Amino acid sequence: MTESEDEEPLISGSGDGIEDASEETLKAWNTLLDGWTDYCTRPTELVKLARKGIPNSLRPTVWMRLGGLTEADIEDKYRHLYAESRLNECPHEQVIIWDLNRTFPGNEYFKEGNDGQQKLYRVCKSYAGYDQEVGYCQGLSFIVAVLLLHLEEDKAFALFSVIMQEYQSETCSRKDSRCCN
């Protein structure tokens, strides 16, 4: 399949996505969120709605709840950890810096010198300082970048920490030292 000359190629990580959902879909999501008070259990309707897509405007809320995080968690634990770990020495700093320009280069937010790239650096460096056993693995910046497109910096750090603790892939686990450190 070839592209016609008047079609622009989709640039991975450009940030262009589906606009928000219909009023009906938003209403269904808001009803689900209003009733979702126990973050340790997932509502039965969640899978059905998620298969249709999570509206952009609700992604931060849904993602934080999927991670089991509350505002109190962010205030009480992760903001402190984030601030503290940013000060830690980071032996992975150079690898993180190399990854910055490779992470969604088609997205203006993550271009060199832009706010997104600076936040990406801080979150990756902080995580490497926070979880010194894992440190930093090449490519983790892509996960952090997606979170930063939808979440504030401290919330992205918190959710990334939960993802790494709860859902760590076998390609970058504490047992596979070839990938990490």
DSSP string, 18-43: PPP--HHHHHHHHHHHHH---TTS--
Residue 98's pLDDT band (cuts 50, 70, 90): very high
CA 43 to chain centre: 22
Give the tens place of pLDDT for each residue, 129-171.
888 888 898 889 999 999 999 999 999 999 999 999 887 654 4
Give the orientation angle of helix 115-130 with respect to helix 93-100, to 10 degrees: 150
For residue 171, what is the DSSP state? Answer: G
